[in-house]
Amino acid sequence: MTGRWVPSAGVQVAAAILVALTGFKIDLAKEVGRALFGADGHVRFRAVTPAERINVVQQGEVDLSAATITVTCACRAQVDFSAVYFQASKNVLVLGSSPYRELADLSGRKACAASGTTSLQRIVDTPTHPVPYPVANVTDCLVALQRGLVEGVVNDNTVLAGMAAQDPETRIAGPSTLDVPTAIAVSKAHPELTVFVNGVLERLAADGTWARLYAAHGLDHALGPAPAPPTSSLPELTMRDLQSRLLGAGVLAAGLALVGGCATVSSRPPAAARPLAPLATTPVPAVTSAASVPGCVDPEASWRPPASLPAPGAMPAGSFMAAIVRRGYLRVGVLGDAPPFGSINPRTGQAEGFDVDLAEAIGRALFGSDGHVRLRTVTLNERVGVVRGNDVDLVVATMTVNCQRRTQVDFSAVYYRAQQRLLVQEGSGYRELADLGGKKVCAAAGTTSLQRIAHSESRPQGKPRPLPFSAPNDTDCLVALQQGRVDAVSTDDSILAGMAAQDPHLRIIGRSLEEEPDAIAVSLTHPELTRFVNGVLAGLEADGTWAAIYHRWLGTLGDVPAPPAARYRD
Amino acid sequence: MLRRWARGLIDTTRRRAATPPGRLRLVTVGLVAAIVLLWLAAFVSVVSRQHAVAGVRGTSGPAFVAAQRIHADLSEADASAAGAFLAGGVEPAAQREAYEQGIAAASAQILALSRAGVPTSTQPSLTVLTSQIPVYTGLVGQARANNRLGLAVGGAYLRQASNLMQTSILPAADRLAAAEAGRVDGGYQDATRWWQPALVAVTGALALGALVAAQVSLARRTHRYLSVWLAAATALTAIVLGLTLADLSAQRSRLVDARDNGFVPMTVVAQARVLALRAWGDASLSLIAHGDGADLDADADAATARLGFNASGVRDPAGVLPTAGRLGGPDSATRTPLERYWRAYQASAVSTRSEASAVGGFQRAVQLALGDGTTTFRRFDDAADTALTTSQRRFDTSVSSAADALTGLGIVVSLALALAAVGVLAGFQPRISEFR
């Protein structure tokens, strides 16, 4: 041994707890120890995290750090490096089922790396902006990937190979660039130790030990056959070379510091200041087609009510009504912006309308008193879903009965027979749907009205069809009409009456395009509730309550007609 | 022609170099030329940097700040309009005022921007702003009037207004801010070109070296050890070199300070504020939509996730608010409370949302949003506004002080080097005269 650094009891080596290459590195360190002492058992290991692997060498806590340290100029300022003992590639570990082929594909996705590593820097530097997800230890990344917190893990292919071995659902993506030099870190205070380590590495490469260790640790399985060891091209390093190199490095560092002190400054806004893309609207699913459903003869036919309704508060045991009474309130979905059937009164903040009055009446029949109905506003599009999902017990929301919907929810007897008509600007000259050929007619998405406009057949030969214009809600159609973006709105006459009441310049025109029987939706799993509701409806129609509700909300449409006749299928 | 001229010059030089006084004259010319080169390098560096810093300080910097303000003010107006609408036909005065102030402030900034002149590439964005904001305010006005009358169509008008704001006005403001940020970046690079101090150092070292060598050789040949003139010229050259390098370095470090403690926090905090306003506005609109808020809720979640918190409040260190909290610097105290305030608001927003989708909970949700939700959000927004204003001011003062670092340097350098050249001539003239 020449130089000042004299091994006493043993050589202290830091080895990061990394899942792969650990054995390889540890064996390399043992070879260094064997070369120093001529015997095994003189190497003591200490586990370090990626963030501290440089510091432990700098502070003299260990003699060597063999913790897959990538050789960079920045690190070189802090510690000395041995010759490169492994050329790794920076790759990305992704789930086998994911489509990613390289790190650049993870644009806007989270990619994991340990903090204080060149891998994290690689993520930040990728021009497609993957989102860096720093963790303390490399293994935390595998956990994050398995838990779906990140879409990829960036690290040397050697480390990733170890992870992939632990989880068969993952795969290594990205080209094999072999451009990440990995070396052993040595304190700058002991250049002679660096020389010595280099000598050992060179011998290991020459006598085939390097290739043997490579294969012994299974790296050939994960990464392919052993490449030529990078140390084979290591030039002979003598002490004098080293000193002149150190001197050169010092001059270079001084020069770099000078240039660094006057490097051109750039002021790009940081990644965190990137704006977020504007609001995305989910497309409304296409209207269910009116195609006939086998076995559905009369969609209006509902379950016959019991001969006599149970008294309020005394529902038959085991029935769904009994469960509702036990719960203490009835949950009903109503519309929030469709006067006069269901709308929130801006002054009181309470829902009100024809549908709401019906819901209150059903609540009274269940509980015997007011105040047991809890309302939830729903959109036209989610009416079926909230019943099927058991979010509400009933939906009273101008729901048109048809065979298609009947396969999803049960319907009560028809409580209102709406006529689909048209709303146009006063003085526009339109009298029928046929006059609106080639004009835009608005209806809410997901409604039968929209479907009917789209398939309108009531037109003279040679004239184009009206163009359906879909809006999220009925009121959005009113806005579009007021702004002149559409020529007409088509939906139930009752709702059109509500719109006309908000704007004196609108007129309801045309004969009925279609009769739309409205009924209350109930879950298919509770036919006893459907029967009960039908009984309540029959009672309301018989005792004049239905007529009173009609008069209260739809009086502007004219005289109160006879209530729709209920039809039953049993 | 050129070759003949060059040959003539070489011939003259050879002839002069043949005699001792001719050699001294040549040395004089060389020394003066070295001083002129130093002057050129220093003067060009100083003037071009002054120009670039003045651009950042007077044009692109204020324009960037204005573009960011426009974005924040418009976001504020949109969210406040939704909050006020939610309260019903009679809007709370404070919310209404916040809306009007937001629109007024944004319009004033736009006017100032267009008067200052923006690059042609961003003209379309400015046109979108000036043409669409009146449309937006018109829609909000219609929404209010309908709401006041108790007509349900008001909510639909407000949704349309907000949609216009979010999908066309705010992206235009984003493009404007991005373009101005690009100009700031260009100004920064022009104001800190690495080769300028390098050139000054090289020419300065040459001039100083030549002066010293000339004096040493003169002393050896003529045994006159000190010429006051030449010594003064050397001292002046050294002072100019040192002063120029020091001032260029000071100017650069102040610009770096302006970037790290002003520009970067400013952009991050502005983004945090805009994202927060968007999440708050979405929450109000979702309530106004009476349950038809799935898209709006998803958008609020996306904005919150960018801020650094997922729907269940788990912190993402890469988010905007944690990033803002990590930025150090003298004003970091204004940014640290942001995360805490946001968490308070988010807790309130989460319970508002769960109330709103609960059966019968709609009224309670509205009360919660108008009460606790608004209070907690305002606290966050005020703190974010303070942090933003502070870092904007820091940016402004640091850029100004960077500009001050170079004030008068051009004149000092020119005068001092002119004197140095005179000193060289005066120092050699007696030696040349001795040969007569």
State pLDDT tens for residues A372-405. 898 888 877 788 988 998 889 999 998 888 888 8
Interface check for B301 against chain A (CB to CB < 8 A): the answer is no
Using CB atoms, pick whichever of B290, B306, B316 lies closest to residue A344.
B290
Mean of pLDDT values over B251-280: 92
Interface check for B188 against chain A (CB to CB < 8 A): the answer is yes
Q: For chain A, which domains are there?
A: 1-88+179-240 (3.40.190.10), 90-177 (3.40.190.10), 320-432+442-449+467-557 (3.40.190.10)
A9 compared with B381, residue with greater pLDDT: B381
Mean of pLDDT values over B95-102: 91
CA distances from B384 to A98, B132, B397 (A): 39, 27, 20
DSSP codes of every residue in B397-412 = HHHHHHHHHTTTHHHH
Chain A: residue nearest B167 by CA? A278
Q: So what's the pLDDT on residue A7?
A: 40
Contacts of A345 in chain B (CB under 8 A): 150
Is pLDDT above 50 for A18?
no
Q: So what's the pLDDT on residue B133?
A: 95
Question: Tell me: the pLDDT tens digits for A295-350?
Answer: 788 888 899 999 888 989 889 988 999 999 998 899 999 988 788 898 887 677 78
Is residue B84 helix, strand or coil? helix
Asked if B42 and B200 count as a contact pair (C-beta separation under 8 A), the reply is yes
Measured CA to CA, the distance from residue A317 to residue A324 in angstroms comes to: 11
Is pLDDT above 90 for A463?
no
Contacts of A346 in chain B (CB under 8 A): 88-89, 147, 150-152, 154
Is pLDDT above 70 for A289?
no
A279 and B256 within 8 Å at the Cβ level: the answer is: no
Question: To probe the interface with B, which of A279, A383, A423, A476 has the most B CB atoms within 10 Å?
Answer: A279
Interface check for B163 against chain A (CB to CB < 8 A): the answer is yes
Q: So what's the pLDDT on residue B39?
A: 96
Share of chain A above pLDDT 90, in %: 19
Contacts of B166 in chain A (CB under 8 A): 278-279
Chain B: residue nearest A258 by CA? B198
Q: So what's the pLDDT on residue A490?
A: 92
* pLDDT class of B379 with cuts at 50, 70, 90: very high
Q: So what's the pLDDT on residue A42?
A: 77
Tokens coding B236: 């002046």
Is residue A21 helix, strand or coil? coil
Contacts of B256 in chain A (CB under 8 A): 265
Q: So what's the pLDDT on residue A13?
A: 60
B103: closest CA of chain A, how far (Å): 20
Question: Tell me: the pLDDT tens digits for B49-75?
Answer: 999 999 999 888 999 989 989 999 999
* pLDDT class of B238 with cuts at 50, 70, 90: very high
Q: Which of B337, B413, B394, B410 is nearest to B61 (CA)?
A: B394
Using CB atoms, pick whichever of A263, A331, A347 lies closest to residue B359.
A331
Is pLDDT above 80 for A22?
no
Using a 10 angstrom Cβ sphere, with 0-12 exposed, 13-18 middle and 19 or more buried, the burial of residue A496 is buried
CA dihedral B81→B83→B89→B95, nearest 10 degrees, is -70
- Tell me the average pLDDT of chain A: 80
User: Beta strand pairing status for A11-16 and A43-48?
Assistant: parallel
A263 and B194 within 8 Å at the Cβ level: the answer is: yes
Give the type of residue at A346: P
ipTM over 0.85: no
Mean of pLDDT values over B177-191: 91
Is pLDDT above 80 for B16?
no
* pLDDT class of A233 with cuts at 50, 70, 90: very low
A172 compared with A322, residue with greater pLDDT: A322
Tokens coding A120: 């994290």
Count the helices and strands in chain B (H runs, E runs).
16, 0
State the helix-helix crossing angle for B123-148 and B170-191, rounded to 10 degrees: 150
B291 and A273 within 8 Å at the Cβ level: the answer is: no
Region of A566 please: left (phi>0), alpha (psi -120 to 50) or beta.
Answer: beta
Tokens coding A224: 């392919």
Share of chain B above pLDDT 90, in %: 59
For the entire predicted model, the pTM comes to: 0.66
What is the DSSP code (8-state) at residue A170?
E
Asked if A85 and A156 count as a contact pair (C-beta separation under 8 A), the reply is no
Measured CA to CA, the distance from residue A535 to residue A527 in angstroms comes to: 12
* pLDDT class of B372 with cuts at 50, 70, 90: very high
Q: So what's the pLDDT on residue A228?
A: 64
* pLDDT class of A238 with cuts at 50, 70, 90: very low
Q: So what's the pLDDT on residue A8?
A: 38
Tokens coding A9: 């009891």
Asked if A176 and A157 count as a contact pair (C-beta separation under 8 A), the reply is yes
Length of chain B (residues): 436
DSSP codes of every residue in B18-54 = TSHHHHHHHHHHHHHHHHHHHHHHHHHHHHHHHHHHH
Contacts of B192 in chain A (CB under 8 A): 262-265
Is pLDDT above 70 for A235?
no
Question: Tell me: the pLDDT tens digits for A38-61?
Answer: 777 777 777 777 777 777 777 777
Question: Tell me: the pLDDT tens digits for A58-109?
Answer: 777 788 887 767 776 566 777 888 878 777 788 888 888 888 888 888 888 8
Length of chain A (residues): 570
* pLDDT class of A505 with cuts at 50, 70, 90: very high
Measured CA to CA, the distance from residue B228 to residue B215 in angstroms comes to: 11
Using CB atoms, pick whichever of B150, B255, B363 lies closest to residue A265.
B255
End-to-end Cα distance, chain A: 104
A376 and B256 within 8 Å at the Cβ level: the answer is: no
φ, ψ dihedrals at A102, nearest 5°: -155, 175
Measured CA to CA, the distance from residue A489 to residue A105 in angstroms comes to: 46
B136 compared with B94, residue with greater pLDDT: B136
Q: So what's the pLDDT on residue B344?
A: 93
Please tell me the number of Cα atoms within 13 Å of A9 on its side-chain side. Answer: 4
Number of A/B CB contacts below 8 angstroms equals: 178
- Tell me the average pLDDT of chain B: 89
B359 and A375 within 8 Å at the Cβ level: the answer is: yes
φ, ψ dihedrals at B418, nearest 5°: -65, -45
Question: Tell me: the pLDDT tens digits for A133-153?
Answer: 888 777 788 888 887 888 888
* pLDDT class of A285 with cuts at 50, 70, 90: low
Q: Which of A306, A471, A282, A300 is nearest to A400 (CA)?
A: A300
Q: So what's the pLDDT on residue A223?
A: 64
Measured CA to CA, the distance from residue A221 to residue A223 in angstroms comes to: 6
Share of chain B above pLDDT 70, in %: 98
Mean of pLDDT values over B229-245: 94
Give the type of residue at A186: V
Is pLDDT above 50 for A435?
yes
Tokens coding B187: 């100004």
φ, ψ dihedrals at A71, nearest 5°: -75, 115
B292 and A336 within 8 Å at the Cβ level: the answer is: yes
All residues at 6 or more sequence positions from A539 whose CB lies less than 8 Å from its CB, including other chains: A309, A365, A545
Region of A68 please: left (phi>0), alpha (psi -120 to 50) or beta.
Answer: left
Is pLDDT above 70 for A12?
no
**C-alpha triplet B217, B220, B224: angle, nearest 5°:** 105
Measured CA to CA, the distance from residue A120 to residue A117 in angstroms comes to: 6
Is pLDDT above 70 for B166?
yes
Interface check for B333 against chain A (CB to CB < 8 A): the answer is no
Taken in order A456, A457, A460, A462, the sign of the CA dihedral is positive
Is pLDDT above 70 for B230?
yes
Using CB atoms, pick whichever of B156, B185, B306 lies closest to residue A478.
B156
Tokens coding B231: 């010594």
Q: What is the 3-state secondary structure (H, E, C) of B221-233?
A: HHCCCCCHHHHHH
* pLDDT class of A16 with cuts at 50, 70, 90: very low
